Structures are given as C-alpha cells and as structure tokens.
Amino acid sequence: MAAIPALEFAEPNLISEIASEIRSTFLSHKTRSLQFRLVQLRKLYWGLKDNANAIETACKLDISKGVFETNLSELNFCTNTIIYDINNLEKWAKDENSPDVPIDMMVLRPKIRKDPLGAVLIIGPYNFPVNLLICPLAGAIAAGNTVVIKPSENAPNVAVVLQKVIEGYLDQSCYRVVQGAIPQSTALLEQKWDKIFYTGGATVGTIIAKKAAETLTPVTLELGGRNPAVVTRNADIRLAARRLLWGKVHNAGQVCISQNYTLIDKEVFDRFVLETRKAMKEYYPNGTRNTEDFGRIVNNRQWQRLKKMLDDSQGRILMGGDMDESDRYIEPTVIQVSSLTDSLIANESFGPLMPLLPVSNLDEAIRIANEVQATPLAMFPFGNKTETDRCLAEIRSGGASVNDGFMHGSLPTLAFGGVGESGQGAYRGKASFDCFTHARTITSTPGWAEFLMAVRYPPYKGKLKMLRRMELKPDFDREGRMKYSLVRYILSLGAASKRAGLLRYLVVLISALGLKQYFGM
C-alpha cells in the first residue's frame, strides 16, 4: 500500500467556519431522514472495510498494535457496531407511547419523539484511536446529528487514515474532520455545540466540562479510573491470574478499564503470582520483546511517565521489569506493594504494570477500594457469588466484570460509561443513539376535548373539590406502612397494582374458557 502522508493540522482561524457550516447543514434538516442516516452508516462501514489494510498499518506505526489486536478491538468492533446500529435504527427512532398515562389524559395522545441534538463535537483518544472515535460517530450519525470529529494527534497515522475515510465516504456538508493539538482543540471548544463527546483523561475532561458549562452544552465524558480488582481466597486463582494478566497485556495495558491494582487475599497471594507467571509463559513463550502480539507505549512522554511511576514505587518487582526507551517497550511487570500512597496505587498507570496488594479479608479489600477512589470506571471481583455480590453492592464503579477482565466493555451492544470521577453519560448499542438524542415529550389536544379541560380555567370558585377528587390516594400511612383492604385484595386478586390485577383476571378468564371447552361444559 502507499505510504501514509504526514498529519496536517487545521488552521485554527478556519474552525469557526467549519462549525458554522456543520450547524447550517443541521438546520437545513438534511440529516433528519432515516434513509439518509442509513446510507451514511453503510458508507462508513465500507470506508472502514476498504481501508482496513491502511488502518492496520497505521495502528502498527502509532502504537505497535498487531494485526490481530487491531482487528479484534478496532476494526471488527466498529464494523459490528455499525451493522448493529443499521439493523436497529428504525426501531430506535420510532415515537414511543408515553407510559403510565392516566385514563383521563389519554385523549392528549402523549408520545416521546426522538429528536437529534444538533451539531456535535467528538474528541477521540490515542489508545483505541479507531474504536473510540468511530463508535460514537456512528451513534451520532444514527441519531441524525451533524458531526465534527477531532482525532488524537498522538496517533497521527490513524488520524490521517480516518480523515481519508470520512472525507472519501461521508457527506462533507454533514461530517467533518479537524486535525490538530491544543490550539485546534481550544478553537473547537470556543464554538457553540449541541453536544460534546470526549474520551480521555480527567484533567482535559475537567477543562471541557468547564468550557461546556459556559454555554450550557451537555457533555459525555468517558474518562479513566484507578480500577480495582479483588481476588478472594475462594476465587478460581488460575482463571483470575490468566484473565487479569490479559487485561494488562492487551494494548500494552493502555486500556482505561483494565485493573489499575489488584487486592488479593494473603492466603492465595503466592498461588496467584505463580499462576500469573505460568500464564505469561503460555501467552508469550518467546517473551514479549520480539512478538507482534504485544504492543508498545504510544510515545516517549508516556513511557517516561510509566518509568517514573515504577521508579518511585516502594514495591518489590515479582515478574518482568525490562524496559527500553528507544523502542518504547515496557515488559509486563508484576509488583507487590504495601501502601495506598505507593505511586502505583495513587495514580492511574495506563500501562502494563500490575501492582498487587495483599489483604487479610474481603472487608479490608472493600474498604481499600473505596478509599483509593470512590467512583472508578470499572471493578473486577473474583470469588464466590456471595463475595462478588458484596463487591458489586459495596464498591461503586461505572461498570463491572465478575470473574473476568473488562468483558463488560468488550460487547458493542452494552451501554458503557463512567460515574462520578470516571465520567458521565454512556454509549454503545442503543445507548449510543440515546446519547445523541433528545427525548421530546409531545401531546396533542383535540378541540372536542375542551370540556374536559374546563377545570383548569378561571374562575376557580367551586372547582377545588373537583380537583381533589382527581388526586391519587396513598395506600400507606404516616409511618410509611402499607394499608391493606380486603375489598382491594379481592378486586385485584392480591396483585400489587391495578394493571397486575387485571392481568390476573385475564389469566383466570382464559383458563376458565379453556376448561369449559376441554370439558364440553
């Protein structure tokens, strides 16, 4: 294939013009048509397929990502997402009937309409430079928005190829690419958007949230976190070691939802380390230095950051530790630490470093996890059902994978997002469509229903009693205790609601009719 050209940054003073064009297109209603959206999604699919070799090459150049990993977590993930969106778009975009409407209000025909938000800005990261840009883009297209995307300048070759895809396959009046670094990002944030979607670190996420607040622009922030893994004495230690090691070697550990540290019951600590060594040998029989199956750190600045974290740690290296800055190589490294202030616990590593902290029991593990970070992006409990249920109930996180490493983030149909410090909002699957959609409540009052509306019009004399008759009555007392009525029990056949009672009566009626027909009564 032809060499990938150098990345060219956009002129910051032209960005306002691009944003204006994108907004004008949205206001022309061009993207409202479902057929238009479907065509754009289909073209995006083929844009990725036709440029698959270039994307593989770009991922290798930018982050030393092998062909298999590029297809697994970049290309296939995106194409599967696009086809899923295409297959479900008509269903998602339909008006919804409003639930639980009182009978006397059904004449208003309330419904929920799925309106696109408008002109959207999507800013992508470097670690999954295709996946984490194309998947939200697909959601924004499906929802009927116009979009400007800003790829990461730290993955320049992927940025160039994605620009080729979007400019060569999508409608340029609706979807544009802006390349650049801080000046271009700053210029983009000066524009008025209807939604900003950002994936990256919390520091930049905070800047974006503050800037968006100036114009009351909604944001989705997909950030990182100091994600805990918990391994109890009742866990399957071999599986825990294999699965958590995979979470730290995939993409050379540059994964926002891989575990940042692992809390392990002292009773099984040595077994876990032994099984990790076995798994390492199985995954990389000839080591990680000379294999396409293990990537590299994205740039020297990030390599230096990781080296400093390891140098500052008071922990003891149990496995790995080999480094080479000229190749941006860091061997998967397991370290035993003893303090929550250790550099490997206090900071997000975002690399192939595996700090292990021995604990006495599950109570201590839960306490430490909550102390390190209240709302991480992910959490990984390994143990029996009682133990993992406790972890899910007592440790907050954006998502969780029970007895596995970040599987909940590997399915393109499941909603994915952070909470608190690890982000806000969610996307993927239907959540991507919802992320870029405004659920608009609509009622339509017919003229003949005017007499039903009479109670709302002045003068109000004599209408208070009528209003109070319309008020819902509680089935509980002032102490919060439920009140039970024999009449209500009979009328509802013991169901908790009128609707459930009606269903029970229907079941009884159908059963009676069936018995009558069966016995010839």
- Identify which of 200, 215, 81, 196 has the alpha carbon closest to the alpha carbon of residue 147: 196
Which DSSP symbol is given to 414? S
- Rounded to an integer, what distance in angstroms lies between the CA atom of residue 110 and that of residue 290? 63
Residue whose tokens read 């339909």: 94
- Rounded to an integer, what distance in angstroms lies between the CA atom of residue 386 and that of residue 399? 19
Residue 441: strand pairing partners: 112
Say which amino acid occupies 74. Answer: E
Q: CB of 228 within 8 A of CB of 379?
A: yes
The SS3 call for residue 26 is helix
Residue whose tokens read 């060219």: 8
Which one from 56, 69, 74, 222 is the annotated catalytic residue? 222
Residue whose tokens read 């194309």: 134
256 is catalytic: yes
The SS3 call for residue 421 is helix
- Rounded to an integer, what distance in angstroms lies between the CA atom of residue 341 and that of residue 355? 12
Separation in Å, CA 133 to CA 41, 74, 136, 158, 383: 14, 10, 6, 11, 35
- Identify which of 460, 295, 264, 465 has the alpha carbon closest to the alpha carbon of residue 365: 264
Separation in Å, CA 457 to CA 451, 463, 470: 10, 10, 16
Residue 379: strand pairing partners: 400
Q: CB of 125 within 8 A of CB of 199?
A: yes
- Identify which of 414, 406, 390, 424 has the alpha carbon closest to the alpha carbon of residue 227: 406
H, E, C per residue of 88-121: HHHHHHCCEECCCCCHHHHHHCCEEEEEECCEEE
Cis ω before 459 (30° cut-off from 0): yes
Separation in Å, CA 284 to CA 61, 70, 127, 288, 387: 22, 18, 22, 6, 32
Q: CB of 107 within 8 A of CB of 98?
A: no
222 is catalytic: yes
Say which amino acid occupies 365. Answer: A
Give CB contacts under 8 A, 24+ apart, made by 63-68: 63/126, 63/127, 63/129, 63/155, 63/251, 63/252, 63/254, 63/295, 63/296, 63/298, 64/252, 64/295, 64/296, 64/328, 65/251, 65/295, 66/292, 66/293, 66/294, 66/295, 67/292, 68/292, 68/293
- Identify which of 393, 502, 455 has the alpha carbon closest to the alpha carbon of residue 381: 393
Which one from 78, 174, 256, 391 is the annotated catalytic residue? 256
Active-site residue set: 222, 256
